[in-house]
Amino acid sequence: MDEKEQLKPKLSKESLSEALSIFKFVAPYKWRLIVGLFLLFISSVVFLSFFTIFKWMINTADGAENPLGFSLPQFGMLMVGILIFQGVVSYLRVILFAYASEKSTADLRKALYSKIISLPIYFFETNKSGELVSRLTSDIDRVYSTFSITLAEIIRQLIILVGSVMLLYITSPKLTFIMLATFPVVVVVALFFGKYIRGLSKQRQKVIADTNSLLSESIQTIRAVKTFTNEIFERDKYKASNDKIVDVAMNFAKFRALFTVFIVTILFGALCYIIWQSAMMVQTNKIESGDLLAFISYTALIGGAIASLGNFYADLISTLGATERIREVLDMESEVDLSKADSPTFNRFQGNIEFNKISFTYPSRPDVQVLKEINLKIQSGQKVALVGTSGAGKSTIMQLLLRFYDYQKGNILVDGKPIEDYPISEYRGNMAIVPQEVILLGDTIYNNILYGKPNARKEEIIEAAKQSNSWEFISSFPDGLETLIGERGVKLSGGQRQRIAIARAILRNPSILLLDEATSALDAESEKVVQEALNNLMKDRTSIIIAHRLATVKDVDCIYVLENGKIIEQGTHLELSAKENGAYHHLAKLQFEMAE
C-alpha cells in the first residue's frame, strides 16, 4: 500500500466525531437548519406520495375503487395543489439551507484565515503557500458542499429509500422480497465496478497530462533543445509517452466494454426479471395495473437512492480529509490573539538592545547551529551594522529580534526586559524593517504607505512621503497617492519601491529600525536618493543595518563582523580598518579596490 493510500481518511467513529467538530460553526444558525431539514422531510414524503396517487389514478381508470373516493378530475386538482405546495416547501428549504451553509462557511473561512494570519513565521516556511490557499478555498468549498448539498441529499435519499421499501411492501410483499434479493445487489456491484472504471479514467487523464507537459516543455525550451541537438531525444520521449497513453487507454476500454456488458445483461436483466414477475401477477389478478406502475417506479427510486448514497460516501470521505486539514490549522497555537483589541496601544521603547550568549538552530535544520553564543549591546539611538559573508548569521539576528523564532540558549533584552515578556503586538509595534526585496500591496501608493500605520491621517502620509524622497515622483503621477502600483509594485522602479517602503517605516515611527541590505539592489543614482531617505529615517532611533556594501556603514557607531555564527570583530570603521590582519580590513580592501 502506498503512502497516499495510507493517509487517505477512513470513515470511522473517531473520524466522524472529529469532522462533526466543524459543525460548531453551524450552531448559530441551527434553527434555520432544523426547519430546513423538517421541510426536506415533508418534501421527500410528498414526492413519494406522487407514485401512490398515480397508482390510484390508473386503478380508477381501470374501474377499480381508490381509498380517497376521488374521480379522475378530482385527482387532477389534487396534483395541482400538491405541486404548488411542493414548490413553496422546496423554495423555503433551499433558502434556509443556503443561509445556514453560506453563513457557517463564511464564519469558518474567517476563523481559518484569522488562525493562519496569527501563526508564527516558521509555519509559513514549512507549508507551501499554494497548500494554505487550498485550505482556504478547496477544503472549505468541500465543507460548504457538504453543508449545503450533500447533507440534504443524503437525508433525502435515505427517506426515499426507506419510504419506497415500505410502500413497496404495502403494495406487494412478494415482489418486494424478489426486488430486494436482486436489484440492490446488482446496483451495489455496479457502483464498485463504476468506481474502478473512474480510477482507470483518472489514470488515463494523468498520462495524457504528462504527455502534454512534455510537449509544452520541449516547445518552451526549444532553444536549449536545438543548442544541445536533442531533437531525437525529445522525439523518443514523446513517442514513449504516447505509447503509454495507448496502453492505459486500451486497458480502460476493456473495462468499459465489460461494464457495458454488465449494465446491458445483469442490471437491465434484473430489472426485466422483476417486471416479468410483476406482469405475471397482473395477469393472474394478484395486483392491479396501477400497482405495477407504482412498483416499477419505487424500484427505480430504490436503485437511484442506493447509487446516490454510494456516490455520497465518496463525497463524505473527501469531506473528512478536508475537515482534518482545516482542524489541523484551527488547533494550532496562535502567536497573536486576534480576539483582543483591534488596534493595540504601543508603549514606546527607548531602544536599548542586548544579546546575551544567544545560540540558535532553525527548527527545519536542527543539525546546523546558525548562531553560537552571540553577545552584543546596542544603546538607545545608536546605529550599528552587521557585516560578514552570506550565511554568517546576520539576518538570523534580525529575525530573532523580531521574535520570528525562539532561540535555544541565552536571552535577548529590550530596555532591560526579556523580549518574551512583552505582548508580541506591542513589541513588534515598536519596530520597522526596510528589506532588500520590498513587498508592496497590489493597491494604491496611499494604501501602501498607510500599511505602516493604518489609523494615520492623510497629512501624515504626505509628510512621510516627503521625508522618504518619494513625494516628487508620487506627485508627478496623474493620480498621485491614488496611483495603482500593480501586483508587488511592478509599475514602480526599484528605487521608487524602496522609497515607498521607507515612507511606510517613517509613518510607523519605530523605536527600533532594521535595514536589511536596503540599497544593495539599486543603481548608483537611486542608491544616493534612497540613502538620503534612510539617513532621515535613522535619526533619533536605534538602527541595525545589514550591509554588504561597506561604504554605506562607514559612519555607524559600531560594526559587528560575523563569521560562521560568531562575532569575530567589533568596532568603528576606522578601528576595524586599522587591523591589517582583520576580517573587516580584508573585506573593505577588496570592496574599495574594486570600486576604484
pLDDT, tens digit, 9 for 90 and up, residues 48-77: 887 778 778 877 777 777 777 778 888 888
Give 23 or 123, the one with higher predicted confidence: 123
Cell triple for 582: 582583520
What is the model's pLDDT at position 48?
81
What is the model's pLDDT at position 342?
52
Q: Is 303 within a domain? A: no
Q: Is 311 within a domain? A: no
What is the model's pLDDT at position 592?
59
Report helix angle 173-220 to 151-171, nearest 10: 150
Q: How far is 376 from 247, CA to CA, in rounded Å?
A: 67
Mean pLDDT of 417-422: 90
Q: Is 301 within a domain? A: no
Helix (H) / strand (E) containing 360: strand 353-361
What is the model's pLDDT at position 366?
80
Chain-centre distance of CA 572, in angstroms?
49
Q: List Cα–Cα distances, 519 to 212, 469, 514, 515, in angstroms.
A: 43, 14, 13, 9
What is the model's pLDDT at position 493?
80
pLDDT category at 133 given cuts 50, 70, 90 is: confident
The vertex-361 CA angle with 358 and 364, nearest 5°, equals 155
Q: Which of 6-10, 534-538, 573-577 bottoms out in mean pLDDT, i.e. has the lowest?
A: 6-10
Q: Is 88 within a domain? A: yes
What is the model's pLDDT at position 525?
64
pLDDT at residue 431 is higher than 80: yes
Domains: count for the chain: 3
Mean pLDDT of 179-189: 69
Mean pLDDT of 177-193: 69
Residues 122 and 184 in one domain: no
Q: Is 298 within a domain? A: no
Q: In the 8-state DSSP scheme, what is residue 22?
A: G
Chain-centre distance of CA 81, in angstroms?
47
- List beta partners, residue 434: 515
Dihedral over Cα of 449, 454, 456, 458: its sign = positive
pLDDT category at 151 given cuts 50, 70, 90 is: confident
Q: List Cα–Cα distances, 258 to 40, 126, 191, in angstroms.
A: 38, 47, 14
Q: List Cα–Cα distances, 420 to 360, 400, 402, 512, in angstroms.
A: 16, 11, 11, 17
Q: How far is 165 from 298, CA to CA, in rounded Å?
A: 8
The candidate with the shortest Cα–Cα distance to 36, out of 103, 89, 81, is 89
Strands 558-563 and 542-546, bridge-based pairing: unpaired
Q: Which of 184-193, 293-302, 482-491 bottoms out in mean pLDDT, i.e. has the lowest?
A: 184-193
pLDDT category at 111 given cuts 50, 70, 90 is: confident
Residues 392 and 377 in one domain: yes
What is the model's pLDDT at position 88?
92
Residue numbers of the domain that contains 162? 14-171+317-337
pLDDT tens profile 311-320: 676 666 667 7
Counted residue by residue, the chain has a size of 596
What is the model's pLDDT at position 7?
44
Mean pLDDT of 35-51: 85
What is the model's pLDDT at position 2?
42
What is the model's pLDDT at position 92?
92
pLDDT at residue 466 is higher than 80: yes
Report helix angle 458-467 to 524-538, nearest 10: 120
Q: Which of 242-246, 322-326, 359-363 bottoms out in mean pLDDT, i.e. has the lowest?
A: 322-326
Residues 331 and 429 in one domain: no
- Domain stop point among 309, 337, 365: 337
Cell triple for 269: 436483466
pLDDT tens profile 344-401: 566 788 889 999 999 998 887 888 888 888 898 999 888 898 988 888 888 889 889 9
Q: In the 8-state DSSP scheme, what is residue 288?
A: -
**CATH code for position 329:** 1.20.1560.10
Strands 383-388 and 566-571, bridge-based pairing: unpaired
Which of the residue ranges 123-132, 174-183, 412-421 has the most confident prediction, judged by mean pLDDT? 412-421
The mean of the pLDDT values for the chain is 79
Burial (CB < 10 A; 0-12, 13-18, 19+), residue 430, is: buried
The candidate with the shortest Cα–Cα distance to 406, out of 335, 330, 304, 483, is 335
Mean pLDDT of 95-107: 86
Q: Is 291 within a domain? A: no
Q: Is 540 within a domain? A: yes
Helix, strand, or coil here: 118?
A: coil
Q: How far is 584 from 570, CA to CA, in rounded Å?
A: 9
Q: List Cα–Cα distances, 308 to 161, 200, 393, in angstroms.
A: 10, 21, 59
